[in-house]
Amino acid sequence: MLTLTSPVETPLHRVAAGAKLAALALFTLVLFQLTTPLALGLALIAIAALYLTGGARFARHGARMLRPLWPFVALIALWHLWRDDLTAGGVILLRMTAAVAAANLVTMTTRLSDMITVLERLARPLSPVLPPRRLALAIALVIRFIPVLSDRTALLSQAWRARSARKPGWRLAAPAALAALDDAEQVAQALRARGGTG
């Protein structure tokens, strides 16, 4: 199965997965303690600097991965413009962008197998209720398939636009759902062929 790991090698690729996930958790906690646009802007600049350590190509790919945020950015910005509360809107937008950019940075520089290993270790106390391997695999599949489903929806939208001048809108919901179910069935068959989730 393909992963989200960037083929562009960066110094962050050599950092242990556990250390990166711990740093991400700590960074996110700190983000929620910061309440001024200046402090959150500096946090976002720090993340951007980490992206740039991988070079321009790596940074451009990271910026592309933030594209799904734009509808949320537009909605939050419009709401706070309407309420005339730009400072609160700026805080929310900077915090959200910094958190998602940091999470993307971790997934781009960490192999999925390494993340599964760390998640299994963390989930070990839950083993009487939920097998750690299943929980880790479920989280890994979510991480992997969000961009896959996003790409699939974009392809369906392009196919619609090639055949019609109207915007697809809600009409893509059914084919996108069927494509997701088809992908889920294929993954389930592949897991069964390899002995299940253990």
pLDDT in tens, 8-25: 888 888 899 899 999 999
pLDDT of residue 172: 79
Question: What tens digit of pLDDT does each residue of 183-196 get?
Answer: 888 888 888 888 76
pLDDT (tens digit, 9 = 90+) per residue, 142-174?
A: 777 777 787 888 888 888 888 887 887 777 788
SS3 of 53-81: CCCHHHHHHHHHCCHHHHHHHHHHHHHHH
Q: pTM score, two decimals?
A: 0.72
What's residue 29's pLDDT? 95
The token pair at 64 is 């592309």
Contact 31, 99 (CB under 8 A): yes
Task: Say if CB 120 and CB 132 are below 8 A apart.
Answer: yes
Q: How many CB atoms are located within 10 Å of the residue 7 CB?
A: 8
Q: How far apart are CA 193 and CA 191, in angstroms?
A: 5
What distance, in Å, lies between the first and last C-alpha atoms of the chain? 18
| Mean predicted lDDT score pLDDT of the chain | 85
